[in-house]
Structure 1
Amino acid sequence: MAEPVDAATFLDACRVDPAVQELRGDYRAVLIVVEGIVPGRAPADPGAIDALVAAAEAHARALLAQLPVTELPHIAAWREAYQAFGAKPQRTRNSLEALTRRAQSGLPRVNPLTDIYNAISVLHQIPLGGEDLLAYQGPAQLVRATGDEPFDAIANGEATVEYPEPGEVIWRDNAGVTCRRWNWRQGRRTALTEQTTSALFICDSLAPMSAAALAAAADALTAALRGFGPDVRATRRVVTA
């Protein structure tokens, strides 16, 4: 059984490497630890998640009726960031772009926790990831990869281990990669499941997203998760480049 994690201690140890600062000095994120989640429990209103997902899908359609997806301001900023560390944004799309594109025809449904953060991502136009905190080994670190960090992935339906490209921006812990290409693909080891009781959520932002808009997205996520247990509590920290 995984050892309990003190939220404040964990968040205080999380860091953004100076090499990422050199790449994008405008980077800002809110890290949120949510504890007290009752496994298998959904919000008291059984239609709340469906309504949130439907609102996100409608919002995406409204946005894309005005601009191409690649010209939406925050998506365009993330495409530039991907190009800066050598990724091809047309082949490996940041998570916000991928979800906004999919939302036109319907967001994927995975599990309640994931469905909520995907919907908040689209509604607030922000890359947002969620992971099982108890699967972490050490703090979350945003760094540029050396290329030898293991990444637990699924390829063609089979579990496999991949490695990032040298210089790629990755989230990692002491055991290896937790998310590749900043916010492109999360790993299998720390994925949220129906048994998750403590979760880490990462809300990523670049200019032109304001600090107020970033905080609003974090607030919306926290509010949406309160129904997952009588003792749900959230601790957050803002990290910057």
Structure 2
Amino acid sequence: MSQFTVQPSFWKIFPDVKIAVITVHHLDNHQKEQVPPEMLAEANASVADLIPNEPISANPLIHEWRQAFKKFKTKKGARFAVENLLKRAKKGNPVRSIDPLVDIYNVESLRTGFPIGALDLQKIQGGISLEVAKGGEPFTAIGEDEPDPALPGEVIYRDEEGVTSRCWAWRDAKRVETTEDSTDILMYSECLKPEWRQDHERAMTELTGNIEKYLGATTKTQYVTKEQPTVMYE
């Protein structure tokens, strides 16, 4: 068993956040044909309804997340992970297929706006902690070769070896990246506002249902709050 813990340093900034922690086992992530291509196409098309206003910052979803990112230290230009996906789709540059798992959680993010992180569970060292960085915690981003350590005051996910996700819901580490050969996954999704919780839970049910239906996996969903800051997973 491993532990997913949100530290007091995070709750001091974001006491109302609720986080879904999802474990996925026995994943088959090889054949793109497993996931109907129309799912991604329809999700891209739905973005215009999710964020109809111009500029993009005029949409409540984007505004709330940008305000949240002003509450801690970030790298220049860092946004919550879904903003770039939504912006691309809204401008007519649809999000493309990557692999079955990524396609399924991108579909959910495009439909609902909720960020969804996914790490290869077998590559995680020890448990996961969401906390405010002291600074210097090691990190190398997916697609990069040069290390880029955390800044003091930055919100990070980390394991015993270093940072697994920078700037909260922004970029994941190369070291724990999921691939088509990944069979066991740790996923997490943050609900920023209490009034979004019902939609968030509905989105997580849809997400796990699609993973089980199309990828032959088993899933388990737990939730972390300030009142219950730790869950165990395996």
TM over 0.5: yes
Structure 1: 5+ residue runs without aligned partners? 1-8
Aligned counterparts of 2:173 and 2:218: Cα–Cα separation in 1: 25
- Cα displacement (A) at 1:72: 2.5
What does residue 6 of structure 1 align with?
A: none
Q: Does the 8 Å contact 1:42/1:228 carry over to 2?
A: no
- Cα displacement (A) at 1:211: 2.1
What does residue 212 of structure 1 align with?
A: 198
Aligned counterparts of 1:227 and 1:54: Cα–Cα separation in 2: 19
Read off the aligned partner of 1:169 and give its amino acid letter: V
Within a 5 Å distance, the mapping from 1:1-241 to structure 2 comes to 9-10=1-2, 13-42=3-32, 44=34, 48=36, 50-87=37-74, 91-104=77-90, 105-153=93-141, 158-207=144-193, 209-230=195-216, 232-241=217-226
Structure 2: 5+ residue runs without aligned partners? 227-234
3-state SS of 1:163 partner:
coil
How big is each residue's C-alpha offset from its partner over 1:145-199, in whole Å with a ceiling of 9 and x where there is no partner? 1112111225xx6512110110100011111111000011111111110100011
Structure 1 residues 14, 150: closer, same or farther in 2, change over 3 A? same
Mean Cα deviation higher: 173-182 or 67-76: 67-76
- Cα displacement (A) at 1:200: 1.1
Read off the aligned partner of 2:182 and give its amino acid letter: T
- Cα displacement (A) at 1:73: 2.3
- Cα displacement (A) at 1:218: 0.8
- Cα displacement (A) at 1:99: 1.2
- Cα displacement (A) at 1:228: 4.8
How big is each residue's C-alpha offset from its partner over 1:80-110, in whole Å with a ceiling of 9 and x where there is no partner? 1110003377x11211211110122211432
3-state SS of 1:23 partner:
coil
Q: Does the 8 Å contact 2:73/2:155 carry over to 1?
A: no
Aligned counterparts of 1:39 and 1:225: Cα–Cα separation in 2: 10
Amino-acid identity (%): 32
Aligned counterparts of 2:134 and 2:195: Cα–Cα separation in 1: 29
TM-score by length of 2: 0.88
Q: Does the 8 Å contact 1:43/1:227 carry over to 2?
A: no
Two-structure CA RMSD over aligned residues (Å): 2.0
What does residue 5 of structure 1 align with?
A: none
Aligned counterparts of 1:51 and 1:110: Cα–Cα separation in 2: 14
What does residue 4 of structure 1 align with?
A: none
Q: Does the 8 Å contact 1:133/1:200 carry over to 2?
A: yes
Aligned counterparts of 1:229 and 1:125: Cα–Cα separation in 2: 22
Runs (4 or more) in structure 1 with deviation over 6 Å come to none
Read off the aligned partner of 1:72 and give its amino acid letter: N
Structure 1 residues 18, 83: closer, same or farther in 2, change over 3 A? same
Give the length in aligned residue pairs: 224
Read off the aligned partner of 2:140 and give its amino acid letter: D
